[in-house]
A and B are shown apart, each in its own frame.
Chain A
Amino acid sequence: QSVLTQPPSVSGAPGQRVTISCTGSSSNIGAGYDVHWYQQLPGTAPKLLIYGNRNRPSGVPDRFSGSKSGTSASLAITGLQAEDEADYYCQSYDSSQREVFGGGTKLTVL
């Protein structure tokens, strides 16, 4: 069972907007630690998508955005495209002195 909770799956039609939640606790996200997001396409290594709650690395489309509030964070994807179909993971730090990942969310583009 992951320290950070994500929905197992989300789906949306091309062009739509989807959000993926990442729920933690007062010992991680709620303690003020940043949240980072990764995209993992099938058979490939994870790729950094959002760092520091809302920052995009160079090359990541602005269709991807992140936010954080209280003990939760969210990843939003607008203008959904077929190529966005992937697994998405959130990551933060826990006061037990470890990096923690969410269980992952599979995004299906209908």
Chain B
Amino acid sequence: QLQLQESGPGLVKPSEALSLTCTVSGGSISSTTYYWGWIRQPPGKGLEWIGSIYYSGSTYYNPSLKSRVTIFVDTSTNQFSLKLSSVSAADTAVYYCASQSSGWAGWFDSWGQGTLVTVSS
């Protein structure tokens, strides 16, 4: 059973970059079964997919965020990471990492507990 855990700063200043890391345990991030995704949820609102990555480094991003998002994978540490640049208050949200089965168009089957990131000066 995969377990995922997000880590990173809970407070980021406007215009700076948000960086989060997801540590995967109970399985290998190099598994051909999964993509690895980031999803966020603003307080009191719905889910928004940010982007996903394969262990090879292949990525696809939400077009609405693509200009500010980078997702990368480190197979040596079984981690994948999110960088979101030029943040504003609209980026305040709980950020989740998740495993994505069956590739693009697949389902998110294991989720981290989520981490709240607040954008404020």
Task: Tell me if A84 counts as interface (CB < 8 A to partner B).
Answer: no
Determine the residue in chain B with the shortest Cβ distance to A6: B46
Number of interface residues of B (CB under 8 A): 23
A92-B46 Cα distance, complex, nearest whole Å: 15
Task: Tell me if B105 counts as interface (CB < 8 A to partner A).
Answer: yes
Residues of A within 8 A of B7 (CB): none
- Given known contacts A2-B46, A97-B60, A102-B46, A33 and B105 CB-to-CB distance under 8 angstroms: yes
- Given known contacts A45-B96, A51-B101, A91 and B46 CB-to-CB distance under 8 angstroms: no
Report the tally of A-B residue pairs with Cβ distances under 8 A. Answer: 63
**Contact yes or no, B108 A48, CB < 8 A:** yes
Residue from A44, A48, A100 in contact with B49 in the complex, judged by beta carbons closer than 8 Å: A100
**Contact yes or no, B49 A104, CB < 8 A:** no
Encode B81-121 as 1/0 by CB contact (under 8 A) with A. Answer: 00000000000000010000110110111011110000000
**Contact yes or no, B107 A93, CB < 8 A:** no
Binding site for A on B (CB under 8 A): 37, 39, 46-49, 52, 60-63, 96, 101-102, 104-105, 107-109, 111-114
